[in-house]
């Protein structure tokens, strides 16, 4: 960024003179940042450090005497834990599945909304509503009103086409949760993609049309490349939230049957608050954090680079 | 760098060409597409509609097979929800949401200033630090928070939630406010400083009024996330500090399958955020993209 006016005004013939105002200037700049920075560090980094400490101990809440230093043995146990691998896989399925399906639907909805028609505002309002419904309410809505085997709306609807009733949340727990997740996250994708569509330069689209491009060609060669960074951004932001999914699993299946529909956050919660095994749960938390940071930091820098560089001109 | 929030304006201003573009598809095709869009939207909205309908039913009508679309509406379920003590939960949610949002804004404004208008060195690292805390899975910090809160005797205390919701929304708010600050013309601020205004005065008199809409949309996003938060509330509250999501869960577990009452509670729980989101649709986009999409 540009050098500050303060430093520029006080000439700098000698080093010692120039550095004093520079340093105080730097602190003046930092000062407004400090409250938020310190607050965030205290609230997020310190607990995480304590989690690392817990992860090196064998501590069961029900047995205070168990609190001893065990080194890395919690970590070794995790990697031998079949269930951990299975719920990690579920986490990937939920996150990728939800983000990708919601993105495809979101693009479809956004394209439908990107034209003038009667009641467009109402339709958009209807379509964003699932995102605004409290996730706990949406979860109970899906698990009870929609997926209930006897009076649920889904089975009734399928029954019209002669499809026999299914006990959704017990026979297809992962699919059920995925449906509820996609329903909530599609509007998120739609809104971001719609903003991308509406930021398209109209003259380019017209030029393409003049040149005789079909609407399908226009979509694949002009619209989609333009949308690319919007898609990347929405996928990343959506994934940050979806990977932490808890409410739907807690309320729709409680991770069951067994642990078949649990994801990492739910499994760790189970180990900590139902199994009282703090050491193990903490070690899993640390593993999840490290994995998330590696994946997300890489993606983040890549994606926000585009938006930040255009902002700064 | 335009300051206006642009969603539909471009097509409205250059009204001619887009209209011509649409005519090409022909009236019938266009009408069919509109009909398709409407059906899709109604289908997608159906679960919400069903929840609202169910909330006005008697339990017998709610748990019927086949589902009843026509029935005599009643407010009994809403009455029952309030008689079961919804007021206390609502009040806790209001405190946790409103106070945490105010704190977030108070902390985020100076911080955003320090990463936009008069930036500290390593601004990018600071920004990435903030957003990386959003990626920290909450479940990885819940155990120490639970233990420490227990030692400090602040379990089941609404101020614990206020503190945590502030931390949860702060990174988001810093990013959003930064994007609004970047749209403020530098000359205006420099002019104020030339006139001898102090930093605080410049902020209060010049900057804050200019970014007031930005503050509003940042607050909206914070309100949505705080109001809907469930995980901390579940683990850190019991009888005294329980918020609205906890009310829903306890309605579900203690009452068994009282579908209509559960629906009424769900409608009440969702209503504030749904209304806010409907009213502020445009601000929603910018907030959800952390200020990246204008």
Picking from A144, A281, A288, the nearest residue to B257 by CB comes out as A144
Does pLDDT of B225 surpass 80?
A: yes
Residues of A in contact with B121 (CB under 8 A): 26, 29
Q: Could you tell me which residues are beta bridge partners of residue A58?
A: A68
**Chain B nearest C-alpha distance from A13 (Å):** 23
How large is the ipTM? 0.85
pLDDT-derived band at A304, boundaries 50, 70, 90: low
pLDDT band per the 50, 70, 90 thresholds, residue A119:
very high
Instruction: Write the pLDDT tens digit of every residue in A102-113.
Output: 999 999 999 999
pLDDT exceeds cutoff 60 at B21: no
- Whether residue A9 is predicted with pLDDT greater than 70 in this model: the reply is no
Read off the DSSP letter of residue A213.
Answer: -
Interface test with B, best of A7, A23, A33, A193 (most B CBs within 10 A): A33
Mean of all residue pLDDT scores within chain A:
86
Kindly indicate the confidence band of residue B192, based on its pLDDT and cuts at 50, 70 and 90. Answer: confident
More confident residue, B62 or A179: A179
Domain with CATH 1.10.3720.10 in chain A: 79-311
Q: Which residue has the tokens 């406010």?
A: B177
Cα of B273 to nearest chain A Cα, Å: 6
Average pLDDT for residues B18-42, to the nearest whole number? 76
Residues near B162 by beta carbon (within 8 Å), at least 6 away in sequence: B95, B96, B99, B100, B103
- With an 8 Å Cβ cutoff, are A124 and B45 in contact? no
How many Å apart are CA B74 and CA B55, to the nearest integer? 8
**pLDDT band at residue A175 using 50, 70 and 90 as cut-offs:** very high
Q: What is the pLDDT of residue A20?
A: 56
Lowest mean pLDDT among A66-80, A82-96, A121-135, B102-116: A66-80
What is the CATH code of the structural domain delimited by A79-311? 1.10.3720.10
Percentage of residues of chain A with pLDDT beyond 70:
89
> Which chain B residue has its CA at the smallest distance from A227's CA?
B293
Is A145's Cβ below 8 Å from some Cβ in B?
yes
Work out the number of other CB atoms within 10 angstroms of the CB of residue B53. 20
Whether residue A21 has pLDDT greater than 80: no
Question: Is the pLDDT at A209 greater than 60, yes or no?
Answer: yes
User: A51–B18: do the CB atoms touch at under 8 Å?
Assistant: no
Checking if the pLDDT of A183 tops 60, the result is yes
Q: What is the mean pLDDT of chain B?
A: 85
- Which among B17, B136, B139 has the least Cβ separation from residue A202? B17
Residue A127 has pLDDT above 50, yes or no: yes
Q: State yes or no: pLDDT of B202 exceeds 50.
A: yes
A66/chain B closest Cα distance in angstroms: 16
Under the banding of pLDDT at 50, 70 and 90, the label for residue A19 is: low
Kindly report whether the peptide bond that precedes residue A257 is cis, defined as omega within 30 degrees of 0. Answer: yes
B32 touches chain A (CB under 8 A): no
pLDDT, mean of residues A120-146: 94
pLDDT in tens, B105-154: 999 999 999 888 888 888 888 888 888 888 788 888 999 999 999 999 99
Closest-CA residue of A relative to B48 is A130
pLDDT at B256 (0 to 100): 61
Q: How far is CA B202 from the centre of its chain?
A: 30
- Residue B214 at interface with chain A, using a CB cutoff of 8 Å: no
Residues 138-177 in B contacting A (C-alpha not used; CB under 8 Å): 138-145, 147-148, 163-164, 166-167, 170-171, 174
Answer whether residue B17 shows pLDDT above 80.
no
Q: Which band of pLDDT confidence, cut at 50, 70 and 90, is reported for residue A1?
A: very low
For the cut 90, the answer to whether the pLDDT of residue A197 exceeds it is: yes
**Contacts with A235 (C-beta within 8 Å, 6 or more apart), sequence order:** A99, A103
Q: Is B130 on the interface with A (CB under 8 A)?
A: yes
Closest by alpha carbon to B105, among A241, A237, A36?
A36
- A199, B6: Cβ pair inside 8 Å? yes
Grouping H, G, I as helix, E, B as strand and the rest as coil, residue A167 is: coil
More confident residue, A293 or A194: A194
What is the model's pLDDT at position A28? 80
Chain A residues touching residue B237 (CB < 8 angstroms): none
> Could B148 and A29 be called an inter-chain contact, meaning their C-beta atoms sit closer than 8 Å?
no
Cβ neighbours of residue B79 closer than 8 Å, sequence gap 6 or more: none
Is residue A147 within 8 Å of residue A139, measured between CB atoms?
Answer: no
Closest residue on chain A to B160 (Cα): A43
Kindly state the helix (H) or strand (E) to which residue A11 belongs, with its residue range.
Answer: none
Q: Tokens in use for A172?
A: 């297809």
C-alpha to C-alpha distance for A220 and B273, rounded to whole angstroms: 36
How many CA atoms, within 13 angstroms, populate the side-chain half-sphere of residue A15? 0
Contacts of B292 in chain A (CB under 8 A): 233, 304, 307
pLDDT beyond 90 at A94: yes
- DSSP annotation of B139: G
Q: What is the pLDDT of residue B29?
A: 85
Q: In a 3-state reduction of DSSP, which class is residue B244?
A: helix
Among B114, B259, B294, the residue with its CB nearest the CB of A144 is B259
A103 closest CA partner among A238, A284, A265:
A238
Q: Does residue B10 surpass a pLDDT of 90? A: no
If you count residue pairs, one on A and one on B, with CB atoms under 8 Å apart, how many are there? Answer: 308
pLDDT of residue B166: 96
Q: Write the pLDDT tens digit of every residue in B245-294.
A: 999 998 877 666 788 999 999 999 999 999 999 988 888 888 888 777 87
- Cβ separation of B167 and A40 shorter than 8 Å? yes
Binary contact (B111, A112; C-beta < 8 A): no
Residues of B in Cβ contact (< 8 Å) with A51: 140-141, 143-144
Q: In this complex, is the C-beta atom of B102 within 8 Å of any C-beta atom belonging to chain A? A: no
**Tell me, what's the pLDDT at A64?**
74
Least confident of A171-180, A266-275, B6-15, B148-157: B6-15
215-274 in B: which are within 8 Å (CB) of A? 224, 227-228, 230-231, 234-235, 244-245, 248-249, 252, 257, 259, 262-263, 265-267, 269-270, 273-274
Q: Do A116 and B11 touch (CB under 8 A)?
A: yes
Domains of chain B: 22-78 (no CATH), 85-288 (1.10.3720.10)
Q: Which of residues 158-177 of A touch B (CB under 8 A)?
A: none
Q: How far is B21 from chain A (nearest CA, A)?
A: 8
Write out residues 69-128 of A within 8 Å (CB-CB) of B. Answer: 109, 112-113, 115-119, 123-128
Which residues on chain B are in Cβ contact (under 8 Å) with A229?
A: none
Give the nearest partner residue to A39 out of B11, B131, B167, using CB atoms. B167
Q: Which phi and psi angles does B238 have, rounded to 5°?
A: -130, -105
The answer on pLDDT for B98 being more than 80 is yes
């Amino acid at each position: 960024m540009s050098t500050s006016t303060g430093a520029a005004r006080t000439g700098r013939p000698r080093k010692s003179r120039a550095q004093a105002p520079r340093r105080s200037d730097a602190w003046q700049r930092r000062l407004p940042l400090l409250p938020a920075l310190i607050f965030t560090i205290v609230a997020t980094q310190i607990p995480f450090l304590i989690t690392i400490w817990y992860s090196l101990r064998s501590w069961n809440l029900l047995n205070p005497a168990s609190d001893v230093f065990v080194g890395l043995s919690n970590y070794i146990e995790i990697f031998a834990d079949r269930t951990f691998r299975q719920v990690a896989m579920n986490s990937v399925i939920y996150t990728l599945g939800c983000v990708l399906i919601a993105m495809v639907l979101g693009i479809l909805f956004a394209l439908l909304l990107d034209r003038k028609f009667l009641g467009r505002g109402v339709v958009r309002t209807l379509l964003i509503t699932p995102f605004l419904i409290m996730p706990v309410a949406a979860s109970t809505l899906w698990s009870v009103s929609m997926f209930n085997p006897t009076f649920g709306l889904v089975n009734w609807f399928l029954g019209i086409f002669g499809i026999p009733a299914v006990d959704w949340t017990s026979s297809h727990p992962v699919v059920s949760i995925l449906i509820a997740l996609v329903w909530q996250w599609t509007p998120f994708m739609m809104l971001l993609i719609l903003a991308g569509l509406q930021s398209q330069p109209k003259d380019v689209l017209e030029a393409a049309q003049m040149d005789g491009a079909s609407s399908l060609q226009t979509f694949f060669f002009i619209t989609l490349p333009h949308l690319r960074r919007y898609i990347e951004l929405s996928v990343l932001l959506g994934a940050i939230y979806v990977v932490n999914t808890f409410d739907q699993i807690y309320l729709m299946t409680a991770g069951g049957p067994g642990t078949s529909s649990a994801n990492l956050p739910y499994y760790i919660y189970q180990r900590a608050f139902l199994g009282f095994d703090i050491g193990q749960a903490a070690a899993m938390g640390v593993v999840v954090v490290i994995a998330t940071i590696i994946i997300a930091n890489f993606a983040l820098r890549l994606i926000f680079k585009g938006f930040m560089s255009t902002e700064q001109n | 760098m335009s300051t206006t929030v642009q969603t539909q304006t471009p097509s409205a201003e250059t009204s001619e060409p887009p209209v011509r573009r649409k005519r090409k598809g022909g009236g019938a095709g266009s009408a069919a597409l509109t009909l398709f869009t409407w059906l899709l939207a109604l289908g997608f909205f159906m679960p919400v509609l069903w929840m609202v309908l169910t909330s006005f039913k008697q339990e017998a009508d709610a748990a019927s097979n086949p589902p009843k679309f026509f029935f005599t509406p009643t407010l009994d379920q809403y009455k029952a929800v309030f008689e079961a003590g919804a007021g206390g939960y609502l009040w806790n949610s209001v405190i946790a949401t409103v106070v945490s949002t105010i704190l977030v804004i108070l902390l985020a404004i100076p911080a955003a200033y320090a990463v936009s208008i008069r930036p500290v060195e390593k601004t990018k690292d600071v920004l990435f630090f903030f957003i990386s805390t959003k990626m920290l899975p909450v479940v990885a910090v819940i155990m120490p928070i639970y233990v420490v809160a227990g030692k400090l005797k602040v379990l089941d205390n609404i101020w614990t939630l206020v503190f945590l919701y502030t931390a949860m929304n702060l990174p988001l708010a810093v990013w959003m406010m930064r994007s609004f600050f970047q749209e403020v013309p530098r000359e205006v601020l420099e002019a104020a400083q030339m006139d001898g205004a102090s930093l605080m005065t410049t902020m209060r008199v010049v900057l804050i009024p200019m970014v007031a809409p930005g503050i509003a949309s940042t607050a909206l996003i914070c309100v949505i996330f705080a109001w809907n938060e469930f995980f901390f509330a579940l683990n850190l509250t019991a009888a005294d500090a329980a918020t609205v999501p906890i009310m829903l869960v306890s309605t579900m577990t203690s009452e068994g399958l009282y579908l209509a009452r559960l629906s009424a509670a769900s409608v009440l729980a969702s209503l504030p955020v749904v209304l806010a989101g409907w009213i502020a649709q445009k601000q929603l986009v910018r907030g959800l993209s952390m200020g990246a999409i204008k």
